[in-house]
Amino acid sequence: MKNITRIVLRTLISITGLLLIYSGFSLIFSSSMEIKEMMMIAKVKPLIPLPFVFMELAFLYNGILEFLIGLYPFIAEYLKKKNVITIILRLLSIFFAIVMINPMILEIHFIVVGKVNFMALATAPGLFFPGGLFVHVFIEHWFGGILGFSIGVYPKVFSSLSKVVRKLKT
């Protein structure tokens, strides 16, 4: 991988992590009635019904992990080790990634058919701008969820991002 590609990927991972952290706190501070109302209006039904606190934790956990890996890819090298702490961290990353992708699985049909207006605001996660729903669905749920799952399953891929750091330091 070229250095510029590594820098771009690290930036994307860091930005995704920041978005997830911001939306995680927005979801925590927004009322649960607002979230339930928005989910009912949008007719979002998760594949596996879980308490919403798992979604809040998923956004925060994967957001922090992705942000840190974007800034310090050496964390991915630490996650490659096979000890109890890293296995727990990786299992949590996989679980929370599934929690993040869970409500989007049944929505694929509506996305493909074009029944979703992605230029709408995403109020519950705090994205109050046109296209906020697009950012929330594709960048936070899908991209952030897939990144979290990848970090949990195969962190070695992300440790190659640290090579650019070593070259820049010398």
Question: Can you give the pLDDT at residue 164?
Answer: 58
User: How far is 140 from 82, CA to CA, in rounded Å?
Assistant: 29
Report whether 148 contacts 96 (CB < 8 A): yes
Question: Can you give the pLDDT at residue 167?
Answer: 57
Contacts of 160 (CB under 8 A, 6+ apart): 1, 6, 73
pTM: 0.82
Structure tokens that stand for 100 in this block: 């993040």
Indicate the range of 3-7, 29-33, 39-43, 68-72 predicted with least confidence: 39-43
pLDDT at 114 over 70: yes
Place of tokens 């890996």: 69
Place of tokens 């995680």: 24
Question: Can you give the pLDDT at residue 125?
Answer: 74
Structure tokens that stand for 129 in this block: 């701008």
The string of pLDDT tens digits covering residues 126-162 is 777 788 878 888 888 888 999 999 999 998 888 777 6
Instruction: Say what angle helices 3-29 and 52-71 make with each other, to 10 degrees.
Output: 150
The string of pLDDT tens digits covering residues 40-71 is 666 666 777 778 888 889 999 999 999 999 88
Question: Can you give the pLDDT at residue 135?
Answer: 83
Report whether 151 contacts 158 (CB < 8 A): yes
More confident residue, 16 or 110: 16
Handedness of CA 11, 54, 152, 65 (dihedral sign): positive
User: How far is 99 from 52, CA to CA, in rounded Å?
Assistant: 10
Tally: H helices and E strands in the chain: 10, 0
Report whether 20 contacts 66 (CB < 8 A): yes
Percent of the chain with pLDDT over 70: 84
Closest CA to 94 of 124, 61, 135, 125: 61
